[in-house]
Amino acid sequence: MASGPTRRSLISAAALGATALALAPDRAHAAPRGADAVAAGGVLPFALDQVALGAGVFADKRRLMLDFATGYDEMRLVQVFRANVGRPTPGAVAPGGWEGLDGEANGNLRGHTTGHFLTMLAQAYAGTGDTTYLTKIRTVVGELYDVRAALRADPTVLSVPGRFGGGAVSNIRGSYQYVDLPAGVLDGATDALTFAAWVRPEHADAWARIADFGNDTTRYLYLAARNAQGNPRLAVTTSGAGGEQGIDGTAPLPVGTWSHVAFTLGGGTGVLYVDGVEVARNTALTLTPADLGALTDHWLGRSHYAGDPAFAGALDEVHLWSRKLTADDIAALHAGTYRGSGDLAAYGFDETEGAGFADASPHARTASLGRTWGGPSHPGFLAAYPETQFIALESMTSGDYTKVWAPYYTAHKILRGLVDAHLATDDPKALDLAEGLCDWMYSRLSRLPAATLQRMWGIFSSGEFGGMVEAVCDLYTLSGNPRHLALARLFDLDKLIDACAAAQDTLSGLHANQHIPVFTGLLRLYDETGEQRYLDAARNFWDMVVPPRMYAIGGTSDREFWGERGVIASTLTDVNAETCCAYNMLKLSRLLFLRDQDPTYMDYYERALLNQVLGSKQDKADAEKPLVTYFIGLRPGHVRDYTPKAGTTCCEGTGMESATKYQDTVYFRAADDSALYVNLFSASTLTWAGKGLTVTQTTDFPREQGSTLTVRGGTAAFALKLRVPAWAVAGFTVTVNGRPVAGSSPTPGTYLTVARTWRDGDTVRISMPFRLRVEKTPDDPELQALFHGPVNLVARDARTTTLEFGLYRGAALSGDLLPTFTPVHGKPLHLTLNGVEFAPFLEGTEDPTHAYFRRSEPRVVFGGVDSGVANPVRGDGTSLLDAVWAAAPFPGKSALVGRVRTTVDAWVNDGLLTAADGAKVVDAARKASYVA
């Protein structure tokens, strides 16, 4: 490959990645490079700062997320990274949920939200120019830079005030730090031993060790702060857990409070003390320190059981004696009046820097601070938890998220956030961190056999790597480092890629969001390598999801997984349509359109964006939560949960990103600036530097059934390509400066081209009347969703059974079902039927909703005239009324009546309707009145 591109030759991370970002504080724009392969037969996007949102539903939703971006304390997200290196973040509390040190699966996904947050800030800054977001980006990046430096170095003591005013050593929860005492510390403790320490637990972890002396999980002596019941426990064994001789306390050590803990062994008796008072005794404790023999490990705060947590909290005045102290001695230790130090070891922990702790005993056995996992294998490592998850994944054969929860997924989010932060702010630290992270991943993955990589990436949840390939390719565009492109290819999941490239649908049973971003990465790899199977796989995969596995709102997945093709009606639950899936399907559709300009991709994009993505954001401001759904339940009467699973979920992260880049797909341009694509109808202003003009789109879409484009600036020749939505069957007309455009009744699902020399003030008016229609589920045609133009309307009703409605009784000659409903005054897009209100799914409320209803047309009714005849149904489920209205639109009443007559004749001939009933049907159609 030729020498790598310079930074200024980039938009690939923007043009082909998540979105197009402004590239630096000077708001400059670079020519695309990674997109060059696309440009030959494709189009390019505009940067976010080139498209300003105007007033409307998108700006309203974005404003809510910007309130969160502004108000949320970014140091809360940094806290988990700082904890990993034993550094406090005063006043900043871990976010909790999946992000917390106390979170689900022990915080095994922590750090991912920081990446999402960085991307949100980068997009917010690019889209608004508000330096509030710039400041936050620089804060987070600076903190992460310091964290990486600390990870590269040996751990350093965190000194806190001790029990009696001196110092004490504190281990932050999540730091995995412990105090390593030197070998031989128990020498001389043959028949008796006393251990005493002041401890201040900062978390109620079961089995965290205050002290653990041993070789392995067979021979050891430990003192745990809490057993399974939450009380202190002393245990000694030479035959593993089953042979433990122990003593259990009777009450927990309080969290956040100093407690004095001590035990004595000897003469066949063990005694446990808390705060100077005996709490438990075992007179059959026959094992002595001598029975353990020579031990290799002497730890404070660490267990020999790998699954046990490190002790989180402070330690002070740790003493060991080779004899049994008396009860009075222990009481004096607690009172601070005991004179003398442990004769085996004595640590006051008064050190305020470094990693060593002086021993006040005659032996001068200096202790040291260590990490339970040692340290990173490469200086580029950056995470909010140890490298152990990455290491463990390499030998796993099945997933277990309580042990390994998608570490490369989390690494991707961090990498994506850093790349976006660099693009938006030109921060060299962000780029350095991103490159280091990729260099570290390459150092781990490049040494693994191909079979190991294939096994890893095929493991559910644990092997999930998100949009890693896309992000790495975007970084490669910045760095030009061939290792980065090589790294991207190490994530190839060949079994899936090859099947999709061959158009073999193997998706059933797969975790949806684990695999959708695989294909966004393949498109970027195709750009960089030209390997055709990558492009073929992505194209074919999209067709396997849309529409075969798509819900009406544009989402996909049930319980996060895919089922069989065409199975929708039987999968409606509380856990449909994971929001991350919609986010990633939008990205994939966008990237495919950049290459192919197939309007089908933009029809889907509009559907999923306007319905699921907008509807996943609650219409409520909150500075503490992004208020975004995880799942969108599609069962009857479901109420959306905007802060699921205690927060900080993957979908809240992608929700932050979605809401700050609504404008990224409104307009695209030909690589030579010869054409401008208007893909979405959204109030916005495009600054098109290549043409020296602006294009302002004025609309209240979708509350308005049309849009107006106004050109300002100089004179420029180009082809304006206006998307004609597939749903625009009621007519799509265009005027330029008030004059109709020739041929402006185009086929729905295409682009209408208006080519001319444009001048300042030219105005394009687009009219696209909505029609109320239904979409049937493929596996149960009577179960349907209602759409007004592009807008999915859902019934707001608390009942949890499927609602039934008949819609043909007032249908217009055009086939529009709107006359059957009653509009709600003052509430655009709200309708009522039979006392039930239908409202846009995009409204983020907590109303119980019905996304689907059952169609029931028991009698033949036209224009409100009931024929008195039951609506007959063929074996395939098609009713007489279905057959009649399938021919809509009708140019007039006589055409409709003629259609009724021919349909009735056919059904009478087939024995599905009597001649007498047929005459009644035709008579009702003739008597009825219709709107056009």
Q: What is the CATH number of the domain that holds 536?
A: 1.50.10
* In the chain, % of residues over pLDDT 70: 95
Contact 408/518 with Cβ under 8 angstroms?
A: no
Question: Within its chain, how far is the Cα of 881 from the centroid?
Answer: 45
User: Which residue has 């495009």 as its token pair?
Assistant: 686
Domain assignment of residue 856, yes or no: no
CA distance to 94, 738, 926, per residue, from 327 (Å): 41, 99, 105
Tell me, yes or no, whether 814 lies in a domain.
Answer: no
Four-residue CA torsion sign, 576, 582, 584, 589? positive
656 and 670 share one domain: no
User: Hey, what are 389's tokens?
Assistant: 């998850």
> Of 371, 388, 412, which residue sits at a domain end?
371
Confidence label for 94 from pLDDT (cuts 50, 70 and 90)? confident
The answer to whether residue 884 is domain-embedded is: yes
The whole-angstrom separation of Cα 720 and Cα 756 is: 8
* pLDDT at position 103: 65
- Residue position matching structure tokens 């001048």: 759
Q: Let me know: does 19 contact 664? Beta carbons within 8 Å.
A: yes
Same domain assignment for residues 384 and 285: no
pLDDT of residue 13: 37
Tell me the one-letter amino acid at 85: V
Residues 251 and 306 in one domain: yes
Amino acid at 805: F
Residue 6 clears pLDDT 80, i.e. is over it: no
Q: Which domain holds residue 425?
A: 7-49+56-147+378-663
Confidence of residue 34 (pLDDT cuts 50, 70, 90): very low
567: exposed, middle or buried (Cβ count in 10 Å: 0-12, 13-18, 19+): middle
The residues pairing with 707 across neighbouring beta strands, listed in sequence order, are 766
The structure tokens 């493991």 sit at 459
Residue 39 predicted with pLDDT over 80? no
Given 371, 390, 420, the domain boundary residue is 371
Number of domains composing the chain: 4
Inter-axis angle of helices 482-489 and 428-445, to 10 degrees?
A: 50
Cα(222)–Cα(237) distance, integer angstroms: 9
Query: What stretches of 236-326 show up as alpha helix (H) in DSSP?
Result: 289-292
pLDDT tier for residue 744 given thresholds of 50, 70 and 90: low
Tell me: do 355 and 501 sit in the same domain. Answer: no
Residue 492 lies in a domain: yes
Lowest mean pLDDT segment, chosen from 696-710, 738-752, 872-886: 738-752
Kindly state whether residues 395 and 345 are assigned to the same domain.
no
- Where do runs of H (alpha helix) occur along 530-598? 532-545, 579-596
Residue 7 — pLDDT band, cuts 50, 70, 90?
very low
Q: Is the peptide bond before 702 cis (omega within 30 degrees of 0)?
A: yes
Look-up: residue for tokens 């508000």?
Answer: 130
Residues 750 and 885 in one domain: no
Q: Is residue 249 part of a domain?
A: yes
Residues 6+ apart with CB under 8 A from 22: 29, 47, 48, 49, 125, 126, 423, 424
211 shares its domain with 183: yes
Closest by alpha carbon to 16, among 490, 594, 469, 420? 594
User: Averaged over 72-89, what is the pLDDT?
Assistant: 94
**Given this model, what pLDDT does residue 829 score?**
98
Please check whether residue 564 lies inside any domain of the structure: yes
Which tokens belong to 784? 């349907």
- In this structure, the answer to whether residues 437 and 467 fall within a common structural domain is yes
Strands, E assignment, 629-762: 667-670, 675-678, 684-688, 693-698, 706-713, 716-724, 733-736, 739-740, 750-758
Give this prediction's pTM. 0.94
Residue 827 lies in a domain: no
pLDDT value for 91? 86
| Alpha-carbon span 378 to 487, nearest angstrom | 15
Single-letter code of the amino acid located at 495 = K
The pLDDT tens digits for 579-622 are 999 999 999 999 999 999 999 999 999 999 999 999 999 999 99
Instruction: State the CATH number of the domain containing residue 309.
Output: 2.60.120.200
Are 15 and 130 part of one and the same domain?
yes
- Up-side HSE of residue 398: CA atoms within 13 Å toward CB? 0
Question: Residue 760 belongs to a domain with what CATH number?
Answer: 2.60.40.1180
136 and 183 belong to one structural domain: no
pLDDT, average across residues 358-366: 96
The span from the CA of 573 to the CA of 634, in Å, is 6
Model pLDDT, residue 2: 36
Helix pair 57-71, 131-152: axis angle to 10 deg: 50
Q: What is the DSSP letter of 612?
A: I
Residues near 587 by beta carbon (within 8 Å), at least 6 away in sequence? 18, 467, 517, 520
Pairing of strands 277-282, 269-274: antiparallel
pLDDT of residue 20: 56
Q: Is the pLDDT of residue 416 over 50?
A: yes
Residue 108 and residue 226 share a domain: no
- Say if residue 579 is in the same domain as residue 643: yes
Tell whether 460 is covered by a domain. yes
In whole angstroms, what is the distance from residue 41 CA to residue 397 CA? 43
Contacts of 495 (CB under 8 A, 6+ apart): 454, 458, 506
Q: What is the mean pLDDT of residues 122-126?
A: 98
- Cα distances from 603 to residues 38, 336, 359, 663, in angstroms, run 21, 76, 72, 16
- Residue 472 scores a pLDDT above 80: yes
- The residues, any chain, with a CB within 8 Å of residue 881's CB and separated by 6 or more, are 808, 857, 860, 871
Q: Looking at residue 90, what is its pLDDT?
A: 85
Of 559, 626, 641, 550, the C-alpha closest to 588 is 550
Cβ-based burial of 802 (10 A; exposed 0-12, middle 13-18, buried ≥19): middle
Boundary residue ending a domain (331, 355, 371): 371
Three-state secondary structure of 387-454: CHHHHHHCCCCCCECCCECCHHHHHHHHHHHHHHHHHHHCCHHHHHHHHHHHHHHHHHHCCCCHHHHH
Residue 189, classified by CB atoms within 10 Å of its CB into exposed (0-12), middle (13-18) or buried (19+), is buried
Confidence of residue 877 (pLDDT cuts 50, 70, 90): confident
